[in-house]
């Protein structure tokens, strides 16, 4: 379908963009790559009065190593994130999850910040952001700049903690340091489709045991969630090598610890899965993700 | 209305466009470049794939205004000035990599984009590289073979290239 009519502005600086967004009022939307927004417009699920195109603002592009964290500009494309040596070296979980987003064409246009600000709990990046305790940098014409922790950024389904006049400038991804292994486990029916459930896992190993784990769940509720019960249960768990062909019968402390992966979640029901099936998937996929991360 | 300047298949156009005009509609309805089809209109099928500044995009998910100042290459711009097909077009023809042909323009554009990054892709890399393109006829086998053949033709190895992917 053809989208409903809207006004379009393409400011030249971030300051101008913040002004334009403030002037455009509540019904305006920020446009970057448009890979989430344009489908919504075409399906006429969204009727913004105007679009403020920030896709070309140099202030919003690029990846910077800032010491204890990596700053990823909001309008950096998924393609550029995946190919960034800094991201690959310092926050591999971000690279792993981003490489699974949609398909090559969408990764060429879609942006890191756009995907997060869209706040779709079925998106791959929100679970990573909560698992790693990222910080979101937002700017508005009236309020200046502020930082929003990932734990407060995802308010509800498609609802980020950004005010109507705020633009996401970028995301600070903390460097976890040595000893960590990472994995993003995504379960979907076809190559480019959304995760039915996804699990982002970061695990710190020491002397053959798991010392600390961070686990974020994709599509297990209206917002991405941390599997806190599993994180707690995994502390001190020995990393064992399962007997080949041993099936699920033998003792497996990691699997046992992952049994609480769905605790406190409220997964949706849709065409692909009912809530109980998603809870089952969360347990199985968390086990896989933690094992892979522990052995990475 | 915004005025945009876009180079499409080597020719520069200056046009006034409504902000909501999609790039694919601009290409087809304004410029008459109907070689780029509209398949699903939901960013799924990849039939409308074109190159935007050298990178594959789904032209149903880009506004024409977003392409302002950019270089667009469509399936219609692949052949040489003498009408000589691009090696990937020839490979799709020779490997019978199409039945109804609707997905073909997008498949070929994605395949060329894939080879720009990975000139000698494995079967797995080809299947991953084409994950944004759906074909409802062929089952993909001949498409994968064609991309292998096109890759070898493009790297100058024009010898029979269909041994890498076994017939099924």
pLDDT digits (tens, 9 = 90+) for A47-65: 999 999 999 999 999 999 9
B54 falls within a domain:
yes
Do A72 and A47 share a structural domain?
Answer: no
CA angle, A116 as apex, A111 and A119 as ends, to 5°? 135
- Does residue A293 have a pLDDT over 90? yes
Contact residues, chain A, for B116 at CB < 8 Å: none
Backbone angles phi, psi at A111, to 5 degrees: -115, 155
A29 falls within a domain:
yes
ipTM exceeds 0.90, yes or no: yes
Residue B25: which domain range?
Answer: 3-77
Q: Compare CB distances from B57 to A31, A42, A105 and report the shortest one's residue.
A: A105
Contact residues, chain B, for A6 at CB < 8 Å: 19-20
Average pLDDT, chain B: 93
Averaged over A258-263, what is the pLDDT? 97
Restricting to A residues 176-235, those with a Cβ less than 8 Å away from any Cβ of B are: 191-192
Do B91 and B73 share a structural domain?
Answer: no
CB B130 within 8 A of CB B110: yes
Do B134 and B70 share a structural domain?
Answer: no
Amino acid A143: pLDDT: 83
Q: Is B49 touching A (CB cutoff 8 A)?
A: yes
A172-202 in b/e burial notation, b at 16+ Cβ within 10 A? bbebbeeebbbbbbbbbeeebebbbbbbbbb
B100–chain A nearest CA distance, Å: 22
> What CATH number did the domain enclosing A21 receive?
3.30.43.10
CB contact under 8 A, A105 and B65: no
- Does residue A138 have a pLDDT over 80? yes
Do B64 and B103 share a structural domain?
Answer: no
Helix H or strand E encompassing B9 = none
Distance CA A290, CA A260 (A): 13
pLDDT digits (tens, 9 = 90+) for B76-133: 999 998 999 999 999 999 999 999 999 999 999 999 999 999 999 999 999 999 999 9
Distance CA A160, CA A156 (A): 7
**Nearest residue in B to A106, CA atom:** B57
Do A98 and A77 share a structural domain?
Answer: yes
pLDDT digits (tens, 9 = 90+) for A269-292: 999 999 999 999 999 999 999 999
Distance CA B138, CA B100 (A): 9
Average pLDDT, chain A: 95
Q: Looking at the 3D structure of chain A, how many domains does it have?
A: 3
Distance CA A165, CA A155 (A): 17
Amino acid B162: pLDDT: 46
A217 falls within a domain:
yes
Q: Which two tokens stand for residue A19?
A: 């002004």
Do B138 and B96 share a structural domain?
Answer: yes
pLDDT digits (tens, 9 = 90+) for A141-164: 998 999 999 999 999 999 999 999
Distance CA A98, CA A7 (A): 31
Do A32 and A103 share a structural domain?
Answer: no
Q: Compare CB distances from B131 to A31, A34, A103 and report the shortest one's residue.
A: A103
CB A227 within 8 A of CB A219: no
Q: Is A102 touching B (CB cutoff 8 A)?
A: yes
Q: Is B131 touching A (CB cutoff 8 A)?
A: yes
- Does residue A242 have a pLDDT over 80? no
Amino acid A1: pLDDT: 81
Nearest to B95 by CA among B49, B155, B141, B153: B141
Q: Looking at the 3D structure of chain B, how many domains does it have?
A: 2
- Does residue B41 have a pLDDT over 90? no
**Nearest residue in B to A53, CA atom:** B66
Averaged over B11-32, what is the pLDDT? 98
B142 falls within a domain:
yes
Which residues are CB-contacts of B141 (< 8 A; sequence separation ≥ 6)?
Answer: B165, B167, B168
Contact residues, chain A, for B56 at CB < 8 Å: 104-105, 108
B58–chain A nearest CA distance, Å: 6
Averaged over B61-86, what is the pLDDT? 97
Alpha-carbon torsion angle B60, A195, A269, A272, nearest 10: 80
Averaged over A232-251, what is the pLDDT? 79
pLDDT digits (tens, 9 = 90+) for A84-112: 999 999 999 999 999 999 999 999 999 99
Q: Compare CB distances from A109 to B18, B62, B65 and report the shortest one's residue.
A: B62
> What CATH number did the domain enclosing B11 receive?
3.10.20.30
A1 falls within a domain:
no
CB A264 within 8 A of CB A225: yes
B42–chain A nearest CA distance, Å: 6
Do A63 and A49 share a structural domain?
Answer: no
Amino acid A247: pLDDT: 61
Burial class from Cβ neighbours inside 10 Å (0-12, 13-18, 19+) for residue A44 reads exposed
């Amino acid at each position: 379908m053809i989208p409903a009519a809207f006004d379009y502005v393409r400011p030249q600086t971030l300051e101008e963009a913040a002004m334009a967004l403030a002037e455009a009022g509540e019904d305006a939307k920020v446009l970057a790559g448009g890979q989430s927004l344009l489908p919504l417009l075409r399906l006429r699920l969204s009727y913004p009065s105007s679009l403020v195109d920030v896709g070309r603002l140099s202030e919003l592009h690029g990846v910077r190593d800032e010491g204890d964290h990596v700053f990823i500009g909001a309008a950096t494309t998924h393609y550029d994130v995946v190919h960034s040596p800094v991201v690959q070296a310092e926050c591999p979980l971000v690279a792993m999850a981003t490489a699974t987003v949609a398909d090559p064409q969408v990764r060429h246009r879609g942006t890191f910040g756009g995907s997060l600000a869209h706040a779709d709990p079925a998106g791959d990046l929100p679970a990573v952001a909560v698992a790693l305790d990222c910080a979101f940098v937002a700017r508005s014409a009236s309020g200046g700049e502020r930082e929003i922790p990932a734990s407060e950024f995802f308010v509800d389904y498609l609802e980020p903690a950004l005010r109507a006049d705020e633009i996401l400038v970028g995301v600070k991804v903390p460097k976890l340091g040595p000893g960590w292994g990472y994995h993003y486990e995504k379960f979907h029916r076809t190559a480019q489709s959304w995760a039915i459930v996804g699990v982002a896992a970061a695990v710190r190993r020491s002397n053959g045991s798991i010392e600390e784990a961070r686990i974020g769940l994709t599509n297990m509720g209206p917002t991405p969630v941390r599997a806190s019960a599993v994180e707690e249960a995994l502390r001190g768990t020995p990393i064992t090598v399962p007997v080949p062909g041993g099936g699920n019968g033998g003792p497996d402390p990691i699997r046992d610890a992952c049994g609480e992966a769905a605790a406190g979640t409220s997964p949706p029901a849709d065409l692909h899965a009912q809530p109980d099936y998603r809870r089952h998937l969360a347990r199985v996929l968390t086990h896989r993700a933690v094992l892979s991360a522990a052995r990475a | 209305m915004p005025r945009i300047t876009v180079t499409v298949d080597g020719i520069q156009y200056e046009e006034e466009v409504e902000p909501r005009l999609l790039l694919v509609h601009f290409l087809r309805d304004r410029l008459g470049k109907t070689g780029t089809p509209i398949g699903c209109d939901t960013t799924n099928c990849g039939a409308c794939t074109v190159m935007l500044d050298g990178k594959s995009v789904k032209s149903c998910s880009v506004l024409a205004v977003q392409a302002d100042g950019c270089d667009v290459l469509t399936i219609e711009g692949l052949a040489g000035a003498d009408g000589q097909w691009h090696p990937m077009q020839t490979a799709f023809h020779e490997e019978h990599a199409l039945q109804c042909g609707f997905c073909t323009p997008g498949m070929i554009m994605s395949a060329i984009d894939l080879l720009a990054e990975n000139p000698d892709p494995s079967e797995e890399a080809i299947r991953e590289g084409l994950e944004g393109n759906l074909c409802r006829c062929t089952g993909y086998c001949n498409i994968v073979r064609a991309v292998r053949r096109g890759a070898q033709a493009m790297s100058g190895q024009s010898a029979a290239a269909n041994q890498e992917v076994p017939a099924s």
